[in-house]
Homo-oligomer: A and B are copies of this chain.
Amino acid sequence: MQVNPISISEVAGIINARYVGYKDHLITGLNEIHRVKPGDIVFVDHPKYYDKALNSAASTIIINKEVECPLGKALLIHPEPFTAFNQLTLYFQPKNYSSTSISSTARIGKNTTIMPGCFIGNNVVIGDTCLIHPNVVIYDNCTVGNNVTIHPNTTIGSDAFYFKKRTTFFEALNTCGRVIIEDNVVIGANCTVDKGVTSVTRIGKGSILDNQVHIGHDVEIGEMCLFAAQVGIAGCCTIGNGVTMWGQVGVSSGITIEDGATILAQSGLGENIKRNTIYFGTPAAPARDKMRELFATKQLPKLIKKLYEK
């Protein structure tokens, strides 16, 4: 999330924090730790992640402890960095839902058809020659390229599944990012694509999603991927070009899948995988190893019988 440059002293005032650093230290954006860039504010509230946040690309860190301020950076000391970060993203991008089905600030390209029952939020941009089928919902600030088809009852830009446990409730991280769907993408019926927490969930050029696919927040999908029905990708995954997933595959959060990999049906992937590899099983392993295992397991009842007969 980009913002107009603002000084740390002003930001400190908004969240009622004490700051450490130069009064004129500038802030140009806010991002969650996975997406930080120079100029950004990031937040951290657990000692385990202090170093990561302090050494990240972020220029300003909201933190709940007096620590040494890294050279050239600034700190915002606040007892609840998570809540303070939410306050700031809401300050810079207040929620303001459209009360009409197609927001007056949405921009729709030439030869694009929006069928009945769709909701197109504020500042949504949809390119040319797209076909948006009935009852599709596209949240504020999302971008759809040219020649994109979205099938009915699909949701683009829902909130991230990203919560902090408090004693008596879960506090949601205010999801203020967006979804970018590039040219020539096809998204099936009843899919869900969450927006980035502060940044972007991207579906690359020419990728195809079958029905009932779920894509978590901040996932980056490359070009010309094929995901069959009921695939689910947790947040923050990075998926290369030409990746194929068959039906009902699940991928854990933060996984990297390189170009050309294939994941066979119903697999559950919990580790990074290399280019052009084929994985299978839960937890997923190289398909050849997994097939050997399955073959061996089939022989196991007889083997056990034999061993005990000795």
Contact = CB atoms under 8 A, between A and B. Distances in A.
Interface of A: 97-101, 113, 115-117, 119, 131, 133-135, 137, 149, 151-155, 158-159, 161, 163, 165, 168-170, 172, 184, 186, 188-192, 194, 205-206, 208, 210-212, 214, 216, 224, 226, 228-230, 232, 234, 247-248, 250, 252, 265-266, 268, 270, 281-283, 285, 289, 292-301, 303-304, 307
A229 B211 contact: no
Nearest to A120: B134
Given A155-B190, A214-B230, A296-B304, A168 B137 contact: no
Contacts of A265: 250, 252, 268, 270, 282
A230 B250 contact: yes
A230 B230 contact: yes
Question: What is the copy number of this chain in the assembly?
Answer: 3
Given A153-B135, A168-B206, A296-B301, A214 B214 contact: no
Contact of A297 (B154, B190, B297): B297
Given A119-B116, A163-B208, A184-B169, A192 B190 contact: yes
A151 B161 contact: no
Nearest to A170: B208
A132 B228 CA distance: 27
A165 B131 CA distance: 21
Contacts of A282: 265-266, 281-282
Contact of A117 (B119, B163, B293): B119
Contacts of A151: 155, 158-159
Given A169-B205, A170-B208, A282-B282, 17 more contacts: A97-B131, A100-B116, A116-B119, A117-B135, A135-B137, A137-B189, A149-B159, A152-B155, A153-B153, A190-B190, A190-B192, A190-B212, A212-B232, A229-B234, A232-B248, A285-B298, A296-B301
